[in-house]
Amino acid sequence: MTSRAAATAVPRARRGSHPARIPVTVSAALLLGAMVLAVAIGPVREPLGSVVGTVLAHLPLIGYHTSTTPLDQAIVWDLRLPRVALAALVGAMLSAGGASYQGVFRNSLADPYLLGAAAGAGLGATIAIVAGGRGSLVLPAAAFAGAVVAVTMTYVVAAAGAGRSAGYAIVVAGIAVTGMFTAVQTYLQQQNTDEIRQIYNWLLGSFSVATWADVRLVLPYLAVSAGVLLAHRRILDVLRVGPDEAGALGIHPERTRLIIVGAATLGTAAAVSVSGLIGFVGVIVPHAVRLLAGASYRIVLPVSMLGGAAFMVLADLLARTVQSPTELPIGVVTAAIGAPFFLFVLRSRRTRQGVL
C-alpha cells in the first residue's frame, strides 16, 4: 500500500510517462491474485461463499452477517488471513531490504542478512527459547534485539575502515559478526537438546503460527522502513553508479548509506522476528525484477515489494498445502525455488553484463 502511494507520488507519474507505472500495476495485480488464492485454499475445504462471507462479516462498517459456523469463520479469519497478510508484509520487507543492500554495497549477492541480521536474530531467538520465555512476545522481541545488536556491531567494527573502502569493510565485518553469533547460537543449541526442535523450526522460518497480533506488531516498523527506503529510491540509483558520482551530485554517501542500511535493518529485524529466517527471497526477487522490468531503483524498489509479497504468499501457500496437513518450512520452499533461479541469474549475468 505504501509502495503504491509512493509510486504515484512521483511527480512524473501525473504526466502518464512514468516507467514504473506498468510494472507496479502488474505486480500489484499479481499480489492481489496471490492473496485471494491463498485465502481461498487451505488444508480444510472452505466453500468460496463462506470465505467471502467471513471476510465481509469481519470488515467494519458493513454490518454483514454470515451463516458460516464460528469455527469456519475462525479458520478463515484467525488462521488464514493473518498468515497471508504476514507473509505479504515479510516478503515485501525482505525484498526491499535485499534490493537496498544490493544498491548500497554495489554487490548483487547482498541479501538483507548480509550484515549479521539473521545470525543476530537467530542467537536472540535461541536465547529466548533456551531461557524458557513463555510469553508469546518474548521470542520476537529477542530476535529483533539480536538482529539490531548484530548489525550495529558490524557497523561499529567497520567504522575504523571509513573512506573509499568503507563498503567493503562493512561487508567483511558482517561476515565476521555472522560467524561469531552463529558459533554462540550453535553452542547454545547443542547444550540444550530439549529445545532443539523449537530452535530448528524457528531457524527454517514459518508463518504457521501467524496471528493478527503479529501483523499489528510488525506493521509500524515495516511501514517506516519501507517509507524511508522508497524515499531514497532515486539516491539509490546514484549510489549504484558509484560513491564518487554520488559525491559529485552533492549526496553524502556515508550518511546516506547509514540511513538506508538503518531502515533496511529495522525492517528486516521486524520481519525476521515474526517469521524466522527465510532465505533467498531478498536476493532473487530484486534480481527477477531487474531482469523483467528494469534496473532503475524507481522500478526495483516498489516492484520488489509488491512482487516479493506475492512470491512469499504463494510460497507459504505451497508450504501449507503440498504436504497437507503437515507444514513444510517455508525456507525450504523459497530455497527450492530460489536456488535454481539464483543459478539462472548468475548464468545470464555472465552473458548480459551489467544487470546490476
Partner 1 sequence: MLKNSRLAVALATAGIAVSAALAGCSSSGGNGAGPSTVVTSGGHSAAAFPVTIDAANGSVTLDRQPSAIVSLSPTATEMLFAIGAGDQVKAVDKNSDYPAEAPKTDLDAYQLNAEAVAGYRPDLIISAGLTPAQMKQLTALHIPVLDEPAAQNLDGTYDQLAQLGQATGHEDEAAAEVTDLKAQIAQVTKTVAASGPHSYYYELDQTYYSVTSTGTFIGQVLATLGLHSIADAAKGAAASGGYPQLSQEYILNSDPDYVFLADTKCCKQTPESVAKRPGWPKMSAVQDGRIVALDDDIASRWGPRIVDLMKTVAQAIQEHPTA
Least Å from the CB of residue 211 to partner 1 = 6
Q: Tell me which residue of 111, 182, 126 sits closest to 150, measured CA to CA.
A: 182
Cβ-Cβ contacts under 8 Å for 208 (sequence gap 6 or more): 83, 319, 320, 327
107 counts as binding partner 1 under rule CB under 8 A = no
C-alpha 95/C-alpha 97 separation (Å) is 5
Chain residues 14-73 in contact with partner 1, contact rule CB under 8 A: 42-44, 70-71
279 counts as binding partner 1 under rule CB under 8 A = yes
Least Å from the CB of residue 348 to partner 1 = 18
Chain residues 78-97 in contact with partner 1, contact rule CB under 8 A: 78-80
Chain residues 133-162 in contact with partner 1, contact rule CB under 8 A: 134-136, 138-139
Measured from the CB atom, the residue of 5 and 183 that comes closer to partner 1 is 183
Measured from the CB atom, the residue of 214 and 237 that comes closer to partner 1 is 214
207 counts as binding partner 1 under rule CB under 8 A = no
Least Å from the CB of residue 48 to partner 1 = 16
Which amino acid type is present at position 194?
D
Write out the three cell numbers for 134.
Answer: 513463555
Report the residue count for the chain: 356
Burial tier of 319 (Cβ tally within 10 Å: 0-12, 13-18, 19+): buried
C-alpha 142/C-alpha 86 separation (Å) is 19
353 counts as binding partner 1 under rule CB under 8 A = no
Burial tier of 107 (Cβ tally within 10 Å: 0-12, 13-18, 19+): middle
Measured from the CB atom, the residue of 180 and 231 that comes closer to partner 1 is 180
| Residues 300, 306, 309, 311, Cα dihedral to 10° | -70
Interacting span for partner 1 (CB under 8 A) from 89-97, 141-149, 201-209, 217-225: 201-209
The site map against partner 1 for 211-250 (x = CB under 8 A) is x-x-------------------------------------
132 counts as binding partner 1 under rule CB under 8 A = yes
189 counts as binding partner 1 under rule CB under 8 A = yes
- Are 315 and 293 in contact by the 8 Å Cβ rule? The answer is no
Q: Position of cell 498445502?
A: 321
* Binding-residue total with partner 1 (CB under 8 A): 60
324 counts as binding partner 1 under rule CB under 8 A = yes
Measured from the CB atom, the residue of 166 and 209 that comes closer to partner 1 is 209
Measured from the CB atom, the residue of 196 and 223 that comes closer to partner 1 is 196
Out of 31, 51, 203, 272, the residue judged to bind partner 1 by CB under 8 A: 203
- Are 296 and 95 in contact by the 8 Å Cβ rule? The answer is no
Interacting span for partner 1 (CB under 8 A) from 24-32, 125-133, 217-225, 285-293: 125-133
Binding residues for partner 1, per CB under 8 A? 42-44, 70-71, 74-75, 78-80, 109, 111, 113-114, 118-119, 122, 129-130, 132, 134-136, 138-139, 175, 178-179, 182, 185-186, 189-201, 203, 208-211, 213, 277, 279, 320, 324-329, 331
